[in-house]
A = this chain, B = another copy of it.
Amino acid sequence: MKVAVVGATGAVGQTTLKLLDERKFPVSALRAFASERSAGKTVTFKGEQIRVEVLGPAAFKGVEIAFFSAGSAQSSEYAPRAVKAGAMVVDKSSAFRMDPTVPLVVPEINAHAIAGHRGIVACPNCTTIVTVMPLKPLHDVGRLRRVIATSFQAVSGAGVDGVEELRHQTLAWARGEAITPRHFLHQIAFNVIPHIDRFGEGGYTGEELKLVNELRKILELPGLAVSPTTVRVPVFTAHSIAVNAETEVKVTVARAREAFGDFPGLTLWDEPSANRYPMPVTVEGRDDCFVGRIREDLSCDNALNFWVVGDQLRKGAALNGIQIAELLTR
């Protein structure tokens, strides 16, 4: 397959290149695109240096599949052009996610939604993906009624600049220097910021509203009650979400463990007696999402509390995108 990666120098683009190799995606030719400030740089794919190109009118000639992770503006402009040029697009931006003509896919959950795509398939927001992975098997056994989710999101979700910001601020602290925020609105080292994306309707942030709308679309539950709080934490690359999920039918902890453990892409790490539960540093670099701290809610008969962690760059972004491409090219 002739493959293009748009946003190839970014955090998700870099992970996409690594995973295309790891998963032996059948790449016959690879083109790497990025913004003008990366023009002339190279990226590495299977040990080879590939020159980074700037997107232009003929960018997608001959390309069969294009991975977009360069932001909404780039996707809005260039994804339709790539489709017109004959490519299938896997879009990691928020540009088309809520477009009713565009499937929003987590392959383990709604692979069927890919049928009837018109060239673009959208990949959900990273926090949505990690949150929805345990919600689907729970829904299958108990029918979801209400979800209250509180996220602990890594800086990689804000791209390479976010990662560099945490690194620089922490090194400045180690040298005894003052910390000056550049990329985030506030200091992120040794802090938590309850604000991701712009503020919107009802005092919710864009990140919070994405979680509500995308969960509903992926699970095909347009009326699902979702209450979101999204928070940035000084962690490099894995997102954690504390979830309270209420179901129509009571699901015991034992039944939930079974359902989670059986679900593809989800691994159960829930052994309190061994102090074992997922954490960002133990999940980073892994493909699966990991779930633990499963407890019956003390405050509601038909609800469970649990804790799910996923690598934001892998299942939260690049891996999910490549899994979509694998479906598209099957």
Contact = CB atoms under 8 A, between A and B. Distances in A.
Interface stretch (A27-35, A115-123, A273-281): A273-281
Nearest to A303: B227
Nearest to A230: B242
A113 to B, nearest CB: 24
A97 interface: no
A190 B281 contact: yes
A131 B58 CA distance: 57
Contact of A227 (B187, B203, B227, B300): B300
A300 B199 CA distance: 21
Contacts of A253: 203
Contacts of A280: 190-192
For this chain, the copies found in one complex come to: 2
A309 to B, nearest CB: 9
Contact of A152 (B170, B231, B294): B231
Given A171-B174, A173-B170, A277 B235 contact: no
A260 interface: no
Contacts of A272: 195, 199, 203
Interface string A186-204: 1100111111000100111
A207 to B, nearest CB: 12
A233 interface: yes
15 contacts: A152-B192, A152-B233, A166-B190, A185-B275, A191-B280, A193-B279, A195-B277, A199-B272, A202-B296, A202-B298, A225-B300, A229-B307, A231-B240, A234-B235, A244-B244
